[in-house]
Each structure stands twice: as structure tokens, then as C-alpha cells.
Amino acid sequence: MADNEKNPVAKGLEEGVKKTAGFFDEFKKFISKGSVIDMAVGVIVGSSFSAIVNSLVGDILSPVLSLLTHKINFSDLKIVLAPAAEGMEETAILYGTFIENIINFLFQAFAIFILVKAINKFREKIQAEELAAAKEKEEAEKAEKEAAEEEAKRKAEEPVQLLREILEAVKK
């Protein structure tokens, strides 16, 4: 039986295997691209950064807020709609938890702002140093080039000067 005369089941199976192999080749190309690896590194660094921000908020900023608010526990603030009864829990609007979450969000946003600002300042300093070094290198290369051009010009005029001296000597 020729290849084009294969039974439909075998032909379909063969096409499925080719598609699966193509799919995995495409996945392999995708996963090996730098952007996917960069994204994975970003997620890992992001989770570590999250731990830093949470510590800043929980361990530093929240205790200060606690002192300023005379240790009010916002999570206890609520409006009871239906008190607890036999076999039923209390039904309440927990607006204190909502306020607490807003405060935590603002603290986290502020902490991230401060950290990003510090990182950007550090980056600007490094960029300024790199720019100064590049400018210095460029000026040194320019000075070298000018010196080389002067030397080449001087060497090019040596034969002309020698001829002038010979002509002067012959005239005398």
C-alpha cells in the first residue's frame, strides 16, 4: 500500500503526532526565549520585594499608626445587621476591616514609592558616572586622534621641508 493510500486512522494518527511534535517544539522555543526567563526572574524578585514592603508596613509604619490612633483596632469596627442567634452567626458590615485594608494599601503604596524613588536615585547616580566616564573616554580618544593627525601632518611635510632645505642649499 502506498503512503497516500494509508487507512484514514493511521493517516490521522500520523498528523496528530506531527502536530504534537510541532506544539512541543513551539513550546520549547517559547520557554527558552529570554523574555520568559526575565519574567520568571521578575516574579521571584517581586515576591522578595513584596516581603520587604510587607515588613516595612507591618513592622515599621503600622506601629507608628497604632501610636497615633491610640491603638484603635479597626477590624473591630462594624455595623451589626443581625445579632448572633441560636445556630447562626452574626451578620455585620465590617467597615473597620475595609478601613484597615485601605490604610494598609496606602502604606504599601507609600513604601513602594519610597523604595522606587531611592532605586531611581541610585540608578541616576550610576548613569551620571557612566556618562562622565564615557565623555572622558571620548575626549581622550579625540585628543589621541588629533595628536595622530598632527603627527601624520608633520611626517607628510618632512619630505617637503627636506626639499626646501636642499633647494636653499643649492641656491647658495
Quick check: is 163 in a domain?
yes
Quick check: is 3 in a domain?
no
Quick check: is 45 in a domain?
yes
Res 34: pLDDT: 65
Integer Cα distance of 109 and 102 in angstroms: 10
**Domains: count for the chain:** 1
Integer Cα distance of 147 and 151 in angstroms: 6
Give the model confidence (pLDDT) of 49-82 as tens digits. Answer: 788 877 877 788 778 877 887 777 777 889 999 9
Cβ contacts of 5 within 8 Å, gap of 6 or more: none
Give the model confidence (pLDDT) of 84-104 as tens digits. Answer: 888 889 999 999 888 888 888
Quick check: is 14 in a domain?
no
Cβ contacts of 64 within 8 Å, gap of 6 or more: none
Res 40: pLDDT: 80
CATH of the domain at 114: 1.10.1200
| Full residue range of the structural domain in which residue 83 is found | 33-171
Integer Cα distance of 115 and 112 in angstroms: 5
Q: What's the Cα-to-Cα distance from 91 to each of 77, 79, 86, rounded to whole Å?
A: 13, 9, 13
Quick check: is 22 in a domain?
no
Quick check: is 1 in a domain?
no
Q: Which DSSP letter does residue 1 get?
A: -
Rounded to an integer, the average pLDDT of 136-155 is 90
